[in-house]
Amino acid sequence: MAREFFGTDGIRGRVGQHPMTAEFALRLASAAAQVLAPEGGRVVIGKDTRVSGYLFEAALEAGFVAAGMDTLMLGPLPTPGIAYLTQALEADLGVVISASHNPYYDNGIKFFDRHGAKLPDSLEEQIEGYLKDPAITRDSIELGRAKRIDSAIEDYQRFALSSVSSDLSLERLKIVIDCSHGAAYKVAPRVLSALGAEIVPIGCSPNGRNINDGCGSTNPDLLMLTVQAVRADLGIALDGDGDRLLMVDHAGRLIDGDQLLYVLANARHRAGSLVGPVVGTLMTNLGLERALGELGISLKRANVGDRYVLEMLRREGGQLGGETSGHLLCLDKTTTGDGLISALQVLAVVAETGQSLAELVYPMRRFPQTLINIRTPQRVDVDSTASIRSAIGDAERRIAERGRVLVRASGTEPVLRVMVEGEDDGEVTAVAESLADSIRELTATEH
């Protein structure tokens, strides 16, 4: 059964347009309850700072209570904090109201199971099967109860601090923290302050409409400028729901997820604590693969999307993985991507080695990468289209061992993404443009 509403990270869309309406959220809660807790149980609901969070919080609360579930309201909290509290509060499921790095006028709803893990496709399909029915309302004696959990931020703060050594001190570091006016705006500065860092907060004044607006991991220019202006040691950028991390070194240079993954993998390798392979994605920079290879560390590539990275880590017995965008997974610390906890792991390496972030990243050379999007008349299956496979083969022979070629179809629109990376910037650009031109001609004549 194809999923109509669930995408790679829950349900997401423009507020007020189907499916992001109050009526749909009510039915969604009812459907989720019937699939995941048919005999009643407990659910936790958290959100980011979007003004529409109040709307969906109320609708979901009504749907779960009517279906017989006790409902615990956490308020604004990072997505990984909600995953943690789903387990800590022994809930049957956790619900996150967030559209992550999207603008404020979008919102989304996603679920965690009782173990703090994202739901598999099969359960999301079952939930969709109930969405065609009206929301249920049980008899009064079977209704759930609802209450707010006032200690949620403090509980998650303690959990985040427990991910690093109790004697870790950041007293010598001046850190700019950008929370994207999002879900981590309270807890992230508190955690860094508790470790002794001198902090300069930006993006920590949400008004319901400024989440991700010119700040955070998707817009790091302000952070890069601020780090230089206040002469900070480094900067931290989270996204709207706090599950992604990018950093900035003392010179204002952006450090992406691949580079941060190198820092963590290298430190764990030297400490003898690295377990299994490191897992990236098809888009992970070739420079990370080469740098890890020099250390004798294997890099495995999953499909694009943190859920696929997580699946491969579990399958391969690894603990460390992530995406270039900064969605990092440290499975020995938590069950899902957590920007704050990932930042703490990097900061621990900085403090323990006495090296700057720039020095820690230096051994990994980022290879030049060119990405070209090609809109096609209809969706194209790259693997089954011989002419496109032939064009890709020509490009691969042209760049040989000096680089890498990837062509993949978008999962949401009729677009082919052409990516070429290699040692020489000029060669990479030339190969990418030539391949893109060939694919445009082929898709125009064959489709």
Share of the chain above pLDDT 70, in %: 99
- How many angstroms separate the CA atoms of 338 and 241, rounded? 9
How does residue 307 score in pLDDT terms, banded at 50, 70 and 90? confident
Each residue's pLDDT tens digit, 422-445:
999 999 999 999 999 999 998 887
Whether residues 196 and 270 fall in one domain = yes
Whether residues 318 and 218 fall in one domain = yes
Locate the DSSP E strands across 209-341.
Answer: 234-238, 245-248, 254-255, 278-281, 299-302, 320-322, 328-330
Interval 340-359 mean pLDDT: 98
Whether residues 318 and 429 fall in one domain = no
Whether residues 141 and 207 fall in one domain = no
Whether residues 51 and 189 fall in one domain = no
Whether residues 123 and 242 fall in one domain = no
Q: What residues are paired with 178 via a beta bridge?
A: 202, 237
Q: Is residue 3 part of a domain?
A: no
Whether residues 344 and 293 fall in one domain = yes
Angle at which helices 53-66 and 22-36 cross, to 10° = 40
Cβ pair 189, 177 in contact under 8 A: yes
Question: Which of 30, 52, 98, 100 is labelled catalytic?
Answer: 100
- How many angstroms separate the CA atoms of 259 and 265, rounded? 10
The domain in which residue 101 lies consists of 11-152
pLDDT at 2: 65
- How many angstroms separate the CA atoms of 254 and 309, rounded? 23
Handedness of CA 335, 340, 344, 346 (dihedral sign): positive
Cβ pair 417, 410 in contact under 8 A: yes
Q: Is residue 6 part of a domain?
A: no
Least confident of 39-48, 58-67, 168-177, 408-417: 408-417
pLDDT at 304: 87
Q: How far is CA 344 from the centre of its chain?
A: 16
Each residue's pLDDT tens digit, 351-409:
999 999 999 999 999 999 999 999 988 888 898 899 999 999 999 999 998 999 999 88
Report residue 139 as tokens: 């008899």
DSSP at 19: T
- The CATH number covering residue 196 comes to 3.40.120.10
DSSP assignment string, 36-101: H-TT-EEEEEEE-S-TTHHHHHHHHHHHHHHTTEEEEEEEE--HHHHHHHHHHTT-SEEEEE--TT
Whether residues 175 and 129 fall in one domain = no
Each residue's pLDDT tens digit, 232-256:
999 999 999 999 999 999 999 999 9
- Find all residues with CB under 8 Å of 276, minimum gap 6, and list them: 313, 316, 317, 318, 319
pLDDT at 412: 63
- How many angstroms separate the CA atoms of 282 and 110, rounded? 25
Closest Cα partner for 376 from 420, 419, 408, 404?
Answer: 408
Report residue 36 as tokens: 């995941």
Phi and psi at 220, nearest 5°, equal -85, 5
Report residue 198 as tokens: 């001198």
Q: Of 113, 129, 152, at which residue does a domain stop?
A: 152
Long-range contact list for 129-133, CB < 8 A, 24+ apart? 129/1, 129/31, 130/30, 130/31, 130/34, 130/35, 131/5, 131/24, 131/27, 131/28, 131/31, 133/27, 133/31
Each residue's pLDDT tens digit, 11-57:
999 999 999 999 999 999 999 999 999 999 999 999 999 999 999 99
Whether residues 42 and 81 fall in one domain = yes
Q: Is residue 236 part of a domain?
A: yes
DSSP at 118: B
Q: Is residue 272 part of a domain?
A: yes
Each residue's pLDDT tens digit, 215-232:
999 999 999 999 999 999
Average of per-residue pLDDT values in the chain = 95
In our burial notation (b when 16+ CB lie closer than 10 A, e otherwise), range 310-328 reads bbbbeebebbbbbbbbbbb
- How many angstroms separate the CA atoms of 445 and 447, rounded? 6
- The CATH number covering residue 433 comes to 3.30.310.50
Q: Of 330, 361, 392, at which residue does a domain stop?
A: 361
Q: Of 119, 152, 185, at which residue does a domain stop?
A: 152
Whether residues 258 and 352 fall in one domain = yes
- The SS3 call for residue 266 is helix
Whether residues 387 and 350 fall in one domain = no
Angstrom distances, CA of residue 345 to CA of 96, 127, 153, 187, 196: 24, 36, 20, 16, 15
Whether residues 239 and 381 fall in one domain = no
Each residue's pLDDT tens digit, 76-100:
999 999 999 999 999 999 999 999 9
Number of domains in the chain: 3
Whether 204 has a pLDDT exceeding 60, the answer reads yes
Report residue 268 as tokens: 């764990």
Q: Is residue 5 part of a domain?
A: no
The 10 Å Cβ neighbour count of residue 243 is 32
Cα end-to-end span (Å), the chain: 27
Annotation marks residue 122 as catalytic: no
Burial of 383 (C-beta count, 10 Å sphere; 0-12/13-18/19+): exposed
* Dihedral, CA of residue 270, residue 271, residue 275 and residue 279, to nearest 10: -50
